[in-house]
């Protein structure tokens, strides 16, 4: 990567967007199968276990996938995911995020998405937003393209993002000597510290405090009209 090209790494949920996407994507798939919502009771118990640190974030996501979408035909998941991406780009992306992405692209910079959201919809989402590289949570596919509910690798969250990003950087001959990272949440502090420049986007209270202490830039990317 030439010296004047910046590696720009963006978190997705609540950084580029105004809200998290995973639960909405799940609901778009299961709305035709409302009986599956009975699994929400189990998910509620799993959420309590997660809060008590008895279950990992990856574990609760696998439970949600297995209860709500395992067994749904792959063609139906693909169709719902396309419609989801259409809706999310049109109504949930922060205008400031789209402006910054466009400026990086115009400058010839390297755009990378790094998100805990899953590859089923993020592959299309990141491509349509103009990203060259995607680092995200992989989901195991059934033979028909449906989902087994298993996450075979790391959940791309918090500190686990860093080795996943570094693997993509190495595989593609990139460099982070000139790099910037954008995120809204304190769990991405490893990412903001890893980059040469960290930017806190519409940060939560904890990240806003830490950003002020560490000298991270703080920006407001607004909300869609």
Please answer whether residues 203 and 15 qualify as being in contact, where contact means their C-beta atoms are separated by less than 8 angstroms: no
Residue 63, domain extent: 7-219
On the 0-12 / 13-18 / 19+ scale of CB atoms within 10 A, 110 is buried
SS (H, E, C) 28-49: HHHCCCHHHHHHHHHHHHHHHH
Query: In CATH, what number is assigned to the domain containing residue 91?
Result: 3.40.50.1000
Q: Tell me whether residue 2 is in a domain.
A: no
Predicted local distance difference test score (pLDDT) of residue 20: 95
Q: Tell me whether residue 207 is in a domain.
A: yes
Q: How far apart are CA 64 and CA 59, in angstroms?
A: 9
**Can you give the pLDDT of all 225 residues of the chain as single tens digits?**
445 799 999 999 999 999 999 999 999 988 888 888 888 899 999 999 999 999 999 999 999 999 999 999 999 999 999 999 999 999 999 999 999 999 999 999 999 999 999 999 999 999 999 999 999 999 999 999 999 999 999 999 999 999 999 999 999 999 888 999 999 999 999 999 999 999 999 999 999 999 999 999 999 999 998
Q: Tell me whether residue 224 is in a domain.
A: no
Q: Tell me whether residue 152 is in a domain.
A: yes
Predicted local distance difference test score (pLDDT) of residue 1: 44
- How many domains does the chain fold into? 1
Q: How far apart are CA 72 and CA 144, in angstroms?
A: 10
């Amino acid at each position: 990567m030439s010296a004047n090209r910046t590696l720009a790494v963006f978190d997705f949920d609540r950084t580029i967007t105004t809200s998290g996407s995973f639960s909405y994507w799940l609901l778009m798939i299961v709305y035709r199968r409302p009986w599956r919502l009975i699994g929400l009771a189990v998910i509620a118990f799993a959420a309590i276990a997660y809060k008590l640190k008895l279950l990992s974030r990856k574990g609760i996501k696998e439970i949600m996938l297995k209860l709500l979408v395992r067994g749904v035909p792959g063609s139906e998941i693909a169709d719902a995911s396309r419609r989801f991406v259409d809706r999310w780009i049109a109504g949930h992306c922060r205008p400031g995020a789209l402006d910054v992405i466009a400026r990086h692209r115009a400058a010839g910079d390297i755009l990378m998405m790094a998100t805990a959201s899953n590859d089923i919809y993020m592959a299309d989402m990141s491509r349509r937003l103009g990203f060259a590289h995607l680092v995200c949570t992989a989901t195991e596919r059934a033979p028909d393209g449906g989902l087994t509910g298993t996450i075979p690798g790391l959940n791309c969250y918090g500190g686990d993002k860093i080795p996943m990003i570094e693997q993509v950087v190495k595989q593609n001959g990139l460099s982070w000597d000139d790099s910037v990272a954008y995120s809204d949440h304190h769990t991405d502090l490893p990412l903001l510290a890893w980059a040469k420049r960290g930017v806190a986007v519409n940060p939560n209270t904890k990240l806003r405090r830490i950003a002020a202490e560490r000298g991270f830039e703080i920006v407001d990317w607004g909300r869609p009209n």
